[in-house]
Amino acid sequence: MERICIQGGRALAGRIPISGAKNAALPLMAASLLTDDPLHLSNLPDTLADITTLATVLEHHGVRTRRTGPGAMTLQAGRIENARADYDLVRRMRASVLVLGPLLARQGYAEVSMPGGCAIGTRPVDLHLRGLEALGATIELREGYIVARAPRGLTGGEVVFPHVSVGATENVLMAAALARGTTRLVGAAREPEVCDLAHCLMAMGAEIEGIGTDVLTVHGARELSGASHAVIPDRIEAGTYAMAAGITGGELELIGARAADLPGVLDKLAEVGVEVTANGDGLRARGQGGTPAAANVTTEPYPGFPTDLQAQFMALMTLARGESVITETIFENRFLHVCELERMGADIRVEGGTAVVHGRDHLDGAPVMASDLRASAGLVLAGLAARGETVLHRVYHLDRGYERLVDKLAACGAAITREPDDG
For the chain (423 residues), the mean pLDDT of every run of 10, in chain order, is 96 98 97 98 93 94 96 97 88 85 97 66 77 97 92 97 96 98 98 98 98 98 98 98 97 98 96 95 90 96 96 97 95 85 97 95 96 91 98 93 96 97 76
Can you give the pLDDT at residue 122? 47
Q: Give the predicted TM-score (pTM) of the model.
A: 0.95
Across all residues in the chain, what is the average pLDDT? 94
Q: Give the helix/strand (H/E) hosting 25.
A: helix 22-30
Q: Dihedral of CA 342/123/143/104: which sign? A: negative
Q: What contacts 278, CB < 8 A, 6 or more positions away? A: 259, 284
- What pairs with residue 229 in β-bridges? 41
Binding site for UDP-N-acetyl-alpha-D-glucosamine, by residue number, is 94, 123-127, 308, 330
Cβ contact 126:83 at 8 Å: no
Binding site for phosphoenolpyruvate, by residue number, is 22-23
Distance from C-alpha of 53 to C-alpha of 114, rounded to nearest angstrom: 16
Can you give the pLDDT at residue 117? 45
Query: Is 118 a catalytic site residue?
Result: yes
Distance from C-alpha of 135 to C-alpha of 182, rounded to nearest angstrom: 10
Q: How many residues does the chain have?
A: 423
Q: Which is the catalytic residue, given 5, 118, 200, 412?
A: 118
Q: What's the CATH code, domain 22-230?
A: 3.65.10.10
Angle CA 356–360–363, to nearest 5: 110
Q: To 10 degrees, what angle do helices 100-107 and 166-176 make?
A: 20
> Where along the chain do its domains lie?
2-19+233-420, 22-230
DSSP character for 414?
Answer: -
Same fold, 2-19+233-420 and 22-230: yes
Can you give the pLDDT at residue 257? 98
Q: What's the CATH code, domain 2-19+233-420?
A: 3.65.10.10
Cβ contact 157:196 at 8 Å: no
Can you give the pLDDT at residue 423? 62
Q: What contacts 119, CB < 8 A, 6 or more positions away? A: 333, 336, 371, 372
210 phi/psi in degrees, rounded to 5: 85, 20
Can you give the pLDDT at residue 373? 84
The pLDDT tens digits of the residues spanning 162-204 come to: 999 999 999 999 999 999 999 999 999 999 999 999 999 999 9
Binding site, by residue number, is 22-23, 94, 123-127, 308, 330
Distance from C-alpha of 283 to C-alpha of 286, rounded to nearest angstrom: 10
